[in-house]
């Protein structure tokens, strides 16, 4: 399937799914209905099947790119997360949210380091990949504790899935820093994270849109080298 469905086609399809997810989720929030739920299941199955037929790669070169567009994508993702985190830090929120904002800024800085190292053709320290994992892990715990008190959990399940898929994708990307990456699993969580991040942005607060949008940009940028054909020499 990797030879049949080329990288631009796979990413274009994921982009179309993401746009549809945002629009359908907006419609679901406004008028209800279960069509988006069925659409979500279908997309997740399609992404899983696509990922299953990808070739295996485990070296760090699988996510390494010296392309200026790759660097620009990581920097744009970092800028978005920094803006959302700054808004969170300046808002009259609890101290915990300010700590989470600091973690978000550190995650953004780690993406800039990744961009700089990739442009120079070097592997960053493995810890750089796990700063975002810590940030999204804390966000997941905090948000789940808040959302689990609400009986209308369907209102938040897509935001929860966005956090879970983004966290898993970032964790799997970190595996490549040890040359033990799992390309199929990483591709599934990365592309799925793009889809659910788009859905989670529907009806969200501006600061959450910035942070979630930053994660979407990061996953989209990382998917470009990740889906590079196996026979291609980076």
Per-residue pLDDT of the chain (234 residues; tens, 9 = 90+): 676 788 999 999 999 999 999 999 999 888 877 889 899 999 999 999 999 999 889 999 899 999 999 999 999 999 999 999 999 888 766 666 788 899 999 999 999 999 999 999 899 999 999 999 999 999 888 877 776 666 555 567 888 999 999 999 999 999 999 999 999 999 999 999 999 999 999 988 899 999 999 999 999 999 999 999 875 433
Q: Which residues of 107-125 are buried (b: 16+ CB within 10 A; e: fewer)?
A: bbebbbbbbeebbeeebbe
Rounded distance between C-alpha atoms, residue 176 and residue 41, angstroms: 28
Inter-residue contact 111 to 77 (CB < 8 Å): yes
In angstroms, the Cα distances linking 61 to 121, 226, 233 are: 9, 9, 9
In angstroms, the Cα distances linking 173 to 42, 83, 99, 134, 219 are: 25, 24, 24, 14, 10
For position 218, what pLDDT does the model report?
A: 98
For position 233, what pLDDT does the model report?
A: 38
| Among 186, 234, 233, CA closest to 50 | 186
How many CA atoms lie within 13 Å of 136's alpha carbon, on the beta-carbon side? 29
| Among 106, 103, 113, CA closest to 75 | 113
* CA quadruple 42, 189, 87, 119: dihedral sign: negative
Residue 123 CA to its chain's centroid (Å): 20
For position 30, what pLDDT does the model report?
A: 85
Inter-residue contact 55 to 2 (CB < 8 Å): yes
For position 93, what pLDDT does the model report?
A: 62
For position 232, what pLDDT does the model report?
A: 44
Give Cβ neighbours of residue 124 (< 8 Å, ≥ 6 apart).
113, 114, 117, 118, 177
Rounded distance between C-alpha atoms, residue 119 and residue 116, angstroms: 5
Rounded distance between C-alpha atoms, residue 191 and residue 143, angstroms: 22
93: its two tokens: 């929120």
Inter-residue contact 7 to 62 (CB < 8 Å): no
Rounded distance between C-alpha atoms, residue 85 and residue 105, angstroms: 6
Inter-residue contact 83 to 190 (CB < 8 Å): no
């Amino acid at each position: 399937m990797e030879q049949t469905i080329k990288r631009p086609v796979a990413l274009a399809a994921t982009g179309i799914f993401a746009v549809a997810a945002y629009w359908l989720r907006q419609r679901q929030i406004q008028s209800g209905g279960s069509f988006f739920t069925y659409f979500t299941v279908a997309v997740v199955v399609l992404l899983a099947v696509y990922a299953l037929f990808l070739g295996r790669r485990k070296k760090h070169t699988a996510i390494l790119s010296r392309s200026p567009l790759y660097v620009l994508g990581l920097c744009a993702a970092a800028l978005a997360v920094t803006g959302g985190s700054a808004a969170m830090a300046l808002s009259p929120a609890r101290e915990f949210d300010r700590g989470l904002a600091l973690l978000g800024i550190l995650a953004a800085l780690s993406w800039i380091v990744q961009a700089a190292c990739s442009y120079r053709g070097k592997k960053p320290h493995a810890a750089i990949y796990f700063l975002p994992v810590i940030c999204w892990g804390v966000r997941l715990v905090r948000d789940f504790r808040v959302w689990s008190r609400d009986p209308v959990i369907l209102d938040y399940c897509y935001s929860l899935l966005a956090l879970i898929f983004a966290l898993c994708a970032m964790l799997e990307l970190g595996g490549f820093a040890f040359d033990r990456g799992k390309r199929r699993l990483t591709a599934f969580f990365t592309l799925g994270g793009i889809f659910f991040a788009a859905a989670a942005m529907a009806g969200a607060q501006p600061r959450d849109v910035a942070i979630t949008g930053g994660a979407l940009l990061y996953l989209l940028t990382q998917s470009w080298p990740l889906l590079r054909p196996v026979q291609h020499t980076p």
